[in-house]
Structure 1
Amino acid sequence: MSRLLLATRNQKKLVELRRILEAEGVTGLEVVGLADVPEFPEAPETGATFEDNALAKAADAARATGLPAVADDSGLEIDALNGMPGVLSARWAGAHGDDQANLDLVLGQIKDVPDERRGGAFVSAAALVLPDGGETVVRGEWRGTIIRESRGANGFGYDPIFVPEGGTRTSAELSPEEKDADSHRGRALRLLLPSLRELAG
């Protein structure tokens, strides 16, 4: 069984990747997170794009541990805000990872935007870096609409204000399986599957 490092401390992301691999029938890979390997200095996310950040995180992790590493960087691009918060999604309100403050700020910034112009997309770039230096970077997008108030208790981040195209429920009202099937991260991770199958042997 080969070990694959998902360069995150977010348990939800680990569970998500394990679920996707299982659903796609990929066996032979043990997915571990940063909490399962010796600590190493993690570089701050300073890239201009999701791809830059994902690749830097995965490369750091592969170098430090000698394991094949996957990292993702994701966020919400809102059309009426010219694609912001984008790479700043997790720290849009100032402090990193304050979901409620980020949500409140975004909703305040677009409160006067009419319903027909409240489009946006969740974007995820995922990078796989091998110990020998091999790199694969992919991008998944999930289009939808930003609603005016939060709904739903599943998910995290901006999930409660995002209704996927063609749907009526927010991302936070979907079951984990429904979300995996469609989400930006699910799409990006599935684009890595050919490389991950190869790793699994």
Structure 2
Amino acid sequence: MLFEKKAEPIKEKGEVVGVELGFRKLAVLSDGQIVGKELKAEIKRFYGRKKGHLIIKEFINRESKKIDFSNIKTLVVEKLRNVKKNKRGLFTHHTNRLLSHRAYRHARFRLEMLCEENRVQIVEINPKGTSKACNRCGRRGIRRDERFVCRTCGRKVDADYNAACNIRDLRNPQGAYGPLLEAALNIPYG
């Protein structure tokens, strides 16, 4: 038996929120939510083990359910395609291994499912430069591991949170620095 479920209309009230999916933390949202802080440790712990990928997928499923969609109408995500296929030569061997085994596609699939269940629109943007620009002043800064430091205004903040705010502002016309980021990063706005 097959049942067809009518798609409910997308929310009209709420915020536009950016999300940075990573391999250190599963997801960091521009509204301050951090989900799956132990992702890197889980990958290291189960890498190479029999059925390790299933344990990592279960971790992603469990942690992604913790995202609070109650005040989100649009979720803006990076448009990353072929992460596994085009990675040769771009990253270190260690980073390649983490990217390959963190189940990025599964994390993205789970996020899309949760957005549909919660009537949240999901929008993709070009992520070029989002981790390099300061969300406060729009200038380029330095990203070292999990910290971002702006050379211009001196802001020190979690690098993934800074990137999530930039992702949000590139899509959101009401964002504080959307047009400024467009100019700084030389990418189309909206």
Range into which the TM-score falls when normalised by the shorter chain: under 0.3
TM-score by length of 2: 0.27
More strand by share: 1
* TM-score, length of structure 1 as denominator length: 0.26
The structure with higher relative contact order (CA 8 Å, sep 6+) is 2
